[in-house]
Amino acid sequence: MLCRFRRPHRAKRRPLRRGVRLVFVAVVAAAVLLADPPVVWAVATIPEVISNLRDYVVGLLAGLATLFLTFGGVRYLAAGGDPGEIEGAKRALKGAAIGYGLAILAPVIVLVLRHIVGLDGGSGQ
């Protein structure tokens, strides 16, 4: 007896869902067909790899630190005097400070790694 009763709103959603799926498939197909050929990610020397790694790490750390800074600031403003929330906001702000500090120190760490590997002379080998 429960099978006889249909929900009318589900019948109305089916064409919409099919349309959304069709548009999604069309966009993905167009992106695949119009995409550039694959890029080969190859570098010639170890210093290039280290430099690229440094740039990636600095960008990642700075982005995460900015996210934590924003999150901590919003949490601090929304705390409303609650000591637990204020402590959580302070932890987020400390995490942001640590992230910015590591982003600043990343080039120094890369220089140390270059020295350990033996590339500190700048000869490009």
Q: pLDDT per residue over 20-42, tens digit each? A: 777 777 777 777 666 666 666 66
- Cut 0.75: pTM above it: no
Break the chain into its structural domains and give their ranges. 46-117
Burial class (CB in 10 A: 0-12, 13-18, 19+), 102: middle
The string of pLDDT tens digits covering residues 41-73 is 665 677 787 778 888 888 888 999 999 999 999
Helix (H/G/I), strand (E/B), else coil: 120? coil
pLDDT for the residue numbered 57: 83
Give whichever of 1-10, 73-82, 105-114 has the largest mean pLDDT: 73-82
Euclidean distance between CA atoms 34 and 32, whole angstroms: 6
Q: What is the pLDDT of residue 91?
A: 93
